[in-house]
Amino acid sequence: MNKKKKIVNREQKDKYTRRKEVLTSFFLNSEYKPLGKKEIASVLQVPKSEISDLDKILADLVNERVIYLADDGRYKVIDNISIVKCVYQAKSANFGFGLVEVGEDVYISSKNLNGAMNEDEILVEILNSSGKSREGKVVKILSRNTSTVIGRFSKSRNFGFVIPIDNSINDIYIPKKNCQNFREGQVVKVEIEKYPVGNNKAEGKIVQVIGDVSDTHIDAKSLYISYGLDKMENFNNEVNEELLTIPDTVLKEERKNRVDRTNQRCYTIDAADAKDLDDAVYVSKREDGTYLLCVYIADVSHYVKEKTPLDKEARARGTSIYIPGTVIPMLPKKLSNGICSLNAGEDRLALGVDILISSTGEVLNSQVFKAIINVTKKMSYDKVYDVISDAEDEELKAEYGEYKEDLKLMEELAKILNEKRTREGCINFNIPETHIVLDENKDVVTIEPYPITFANQIIEEFMLVTNMVIAEKYYFYEFPFIYRIHEQPDEEKLRDLNSVLQNYKLRIKGINNIHPKALSSILDEVEDKNAKEIISAYMLRSLKLAKYSNECLGHFGLNAKYYCHFTSPIRRYPDLFIHRIISKAIENNYSFSENEIIRYEKQAEKYAKSSSEMEKNATKIERDFDTLYSCIYMKQFIGEEFSAKIVSVTSFGIFVRLENTIEGFVGFESMPGDYYMYNESTRTVVGKRTSKQFKIGDEIKVRLIKSDVLTKQIDFEMI
């Protein structure tokens, strides 16, 4: 009886599969025109008794994103040409882009959004596809991403609304019945009950009061909660239980089959307040003039095993997020600040890389191995710089005197490596980073350029060459891997860059087959520090974003054929993944089974994509916090005058940067003395009457007229 039942079920399944194949072919036929269900049943002569099967197949094909049910009740094909599936990324309340897996992203204006919100999965009909620029309108929202919104409550007589702190989201309407118990200006969490349709706003109810305007930290707190960072402060119970099984010190059995380097000197060099130390270095010089660079990276994969709760959580986070005053770590502190951190004076497990380098910076040989180390001293960038600069400080001499020779040798090798990279065309951008200083109460003390010295450069050079060595070595082993790639820039972007460079009497040649050296040589020609900084920033915007990939496609900006991220496994998941591959290779005498190759190849592709997304998300969060704190800090200076540099010119005004790195906007209406217009061909602003011209890099005087914490916007007027 059971056997007969199985045969019947199999026959039914085969029959269903055949029908599904027939219907799929029907839709994918180039002659197909959109039809409703009744029309499809009629054309295919589906008996009434089999309409339920037709319903199921149609539902399956909709779920598989082969077709979609349009508002007119007809089924249309998702051909990825005229109709594309993508994820909406809002840039403001007025426009955004549909991010597609393959091809050029699609511009979507607010009039064509059809109620789509940030991160929604959508179907977009392409309106035009001239050249590479595509514009579209949303025809279907496949899945919603936003269910709650954080914002400031505003009340009127008959209703209320919440102005989201994320300015890419439009106001949320709150019906009168849902806003009786809330006060003007309160920061609240809204649960969306009705999503926007056409011109109608989303509707919701307030489920939580986060704080009042009287709370001096309410803006930072609300931004923190809106990104869900409060939920990431702690790790789940499964992770905490796993942490109980991880030792606080290196165990005897963990020392086996490792190269013992505990008696060799090595140093960590980081910011003074750094606690997650994942790299240590040492340099020695041989009689033949070659250098041996020893790099040790925390062996995180020894503690974060595949398929464990720790690994699952690390994958989900993808990266640590650094915001002023705190860090949201990828790994719990027991690992990031404890057993994995290369703390001075404590035995630690590491992956070691010995790199033999010539006097001209060429890598002659390298070896990768599992090691146990004991860091000689934790050093800070500022003190290392003072040492290599021969600062006369008795306290410094007492603390660092015995290490000065080692540090001088590191400086010597770093300069050689830097000169080689520069000589070969690596682009060295000269853009100051923003350093936001908070006090113990989390109030902004000052904002200034982040201090970068050659001490920072030493570590950067050593990490760059290590990442290149690792990527090249394991590329030729043909193991599954995650690479850091940076593709060639688009010609259109380079033409835009040329329109800026012409103001400096500079020009890039050969943009149809650009080499990094063509860009680096432009920067070498610019002697003025301010001009170099501006051109660097604009050049960086002209390039594509670096990302992770399971394919080795090279790194344009570094002019590196092979590159990966290997040196920060405490804070980046791709580094942790390739550590796992490398460790297994060492343990198994560089041999993988066919099943392991297939499994890791699938993981490399999947994790490269998810890590790239999480990196973009972390960058957005970090920038939003920098902007927020900039607005908070600048409020005290409203009405004051500043020297500023023009960093961008647009059709609606100019953007300027102050000496403290804070940027703001000057609208044409805030530029007195003339009526100014934008010249697209030269990327300049020109006065209609006076012909006075402003271009990127010009220094001007401005007065601060607005610093709006809610909209995160800083406005100046030109003096």
Asked whether the predicted pLDDT for residue 289 surpasses 60, the reply is yes
**Residue 542: which H helix or E strand, with range?**
helix 529-542
CA atoms within 13 A on the CB side of 194: 10
Q: How far apart are CA 499 and CA 634, in angstroms?
A: 33
Q: How far apart are CA 625 and CA 632, in angstroms?
A: 10
Longest dimension (CA), the chain: 96
- Helices marked H in 588-660 — which ranges? 594-634
Neighbours of 666 (CB within 10 A): 24
State the average pLDDT for the chain.
91
Q: What confidence score (pLDDT) does residue 405 get?
A: 96
Asked whether the predicted pLDDT for residue 279 surpasses 90, the reply is yes
Judged by DSSP in three states, 587 sits in: helix
Q: What angle do CA 85, 91, 93 make, to 5 degrees?
A: 100
Asked whether the predicted pLDDT for residue 500 surpasses 90, the reply is no
Sort strands 699-708 and 653-658 into parallel, antiparallel or unpaired.
Answer: unpaired
Mean of pLDDT values over 29-56: 86
Mean of pLDDT values over 202-208: 92
Q: What confidence score (pLDDT) does residue 130 get?
A: 56
Q: What confidence score (pLDDT) does residue 2 get?
A: 59
As a whole-number percent, the residues of the chain with pLDDT over 70 amount to 97
Q: What confidence score (pLDDT) does residue 286 get?
A: 96
Note the pLDDT tens digit of each residue in 69-100: 888 889 888 887 888 888 998 877 778 888 88
Backbone phi, psi, residue 263, to 5°: -95, 0
Q: What confidence score (pLDDT) does residue 697 get?
A: 87
Q: How far apart are CA 604 and CA 389, in angstroms?
A: 44
Judged by DSSP in three states, 171 sits in: coil
Fold of 83-143: OB fold (Dihydrolipoamide Acetyltransferase, E2P) (2.40.50)
Note the pLDDT tens digit of each residue in 115-136: 888 889 988 988 876 555 688 8
pTM: 0.85
Contact 299, 554 (CB under 8 A): no
Neighbours of 20 (CB within 10 A): 17
Asked whether the predicted pLDDT for residue 676 surpasses 80, the reply is yes
Asked whether the predicted pLDDT for residue 102 surpasses 80, the reply is no
> Which candidate, 96, 87, 94, 231, places its Cα nearest to that of 150?
231
User: What does each C-alpha distance from 345 to 64, 249, 411 come to in angstroms?
Assistant: 56, 12, 24
Asked whether the predicted pLDDT for residue 475 surpasses 70, the reply is yes
In CATH terms, the superfamily for domain 638-718 is: Nucleic acid-binding proteins (2.40.50.140)
Q: How far apart are CA 548 and CA 13, in angstroms?
A: 41
Contacts made by residues 463-467, CB under 8 angstroms, sequence distance 24+: 463/279, 463/295, 463/567, 464/417, 464/421, 464/558, 465/293, 465/355, 465/357, 465/363, 465/417, 466/293, 466/295, 466/297, 466/353, 466/355, 466/566, 466/567, 467/563, 467/564, 467/565, 467/566, 467/567
Contact 121, 87 (CB under 8 A): yes
Mean of pLDDT values over 674-694: 90
pLDDT band at 548 (very low <50, low <70, confident <90, very high): very high
Query: Which residues share a beta bridge with 372?
Result: 260, 349
Q: How far apart are CA 611 and CA 574, in angstroms?
A: 7
Identify each DSSP E strand in 457-531 by its residue range: 483-485
Q: How far apart are CA 539 and CA 520, in angstroms?
A: 10
Q: Which tokens is 135 given? A: 């514009």
Judged by DSSP in three states, 636 sits in: helix
Q: What confidence score (pLDDT) does residue 101 get?
A: 76
Range among 15-29, 92-106, 455-469 with highest mean pLDDT value: 455-469
Note the pLDDT tens digit of each residue in 519-529: 998 888 888 87
* Higher local confidence (pLDDT), 157 or 715: 715
Neighbours of 717 (CB within 10 A): 16
Contact 267, 377 (CB under 8 A): yes
Query: Which residues share a beta bridge with 86?
Result: 122
- Helices marked H in 155-299 — which ranges? 218-226, 237-243
CATH class assigned to 2-77: mainly alpha
- 83-143 against 638-718: fold identical: yes
> Which residue in the block uniquely carries the two structure tokens 């319903």?
55
To the question of domain 148-226 being in CATH 2.40.50.700, the answer is: yes
Q: What confidence score (pLDDT) does residue 569 get?
A: 98
Asked whether the predicted pLDDT for residue 5 surpasses 80, the reply is no
Q: What confidence score (pLDDT) does residue 510 get?
A: 79
Q: What confidence score (pLDDT) does residue 410 get?
A: 98
Q: How far apart are CA 108 and CA 115, in angstroms?
A: 12
Range among 325-334, 494-503, 505-514 with highest mean pLDDT value: 325-334
**Residue 127: which H helix or E strand, with range?**
strand 121-128
Lowest mean pLDDT among 87-96, 592-601, 612-621: 87-96
pLDDT band at 570 (very low <50, low <70, confident <90, very high): very high
Asked whether the predicted pLDDT for residue 6 surpasses 60, the reply is no
Q: What confidence score (pLDDT) does residue 9 get?
A: 60
Q: How far is CA 611 from the centre of its chain?
A: 9
> Which residue in the block uniquely carries the two structure tokens 């029907």?
26
> Which residue in the block uniquely carries the two structure tokens 């609208």?
667
Q: What confidence score (pLDDT) does residue 78 get?
A: 85
Judged by DSSP in three states, 513 sits in: helix
Note the pLDDT tens digit of each residue in 159-168: 999 988 887 7
Q: What confidence score (pLDDT) does residue 527 get?
A: 81
For 390-401, the DSSP string reads T---HHHHHHHG
Q: What confidence score (pLDDT) does residue 328 get?
A: 96
Sort strands 134-143 and 106-109 into parallel, antiparallel or unpaired.
Answer: parallel
Q: Domain locations in the chain?
A: 2-77, 83-143, 148-226, 237-487+544-625, 638-718
Q: Which tokens is 42 given? A: 């009629």
pLDDT band at 29 (very low <50, low <70, confident <90, very high): confident
> Which candidate, 38, 34, 45, places its Cα nearest to that of 68?
34
Q: Which tokens is 10 given? A: 């199999």
Asked whether the predicted pLDDT for residue 3 surpasses 60, the reply is no
Q: What confidence score (pLDDT) does residue 8 get?
A: 47
pLDDT band at 174 (very low <50, low <70, confident <90, very high): very high
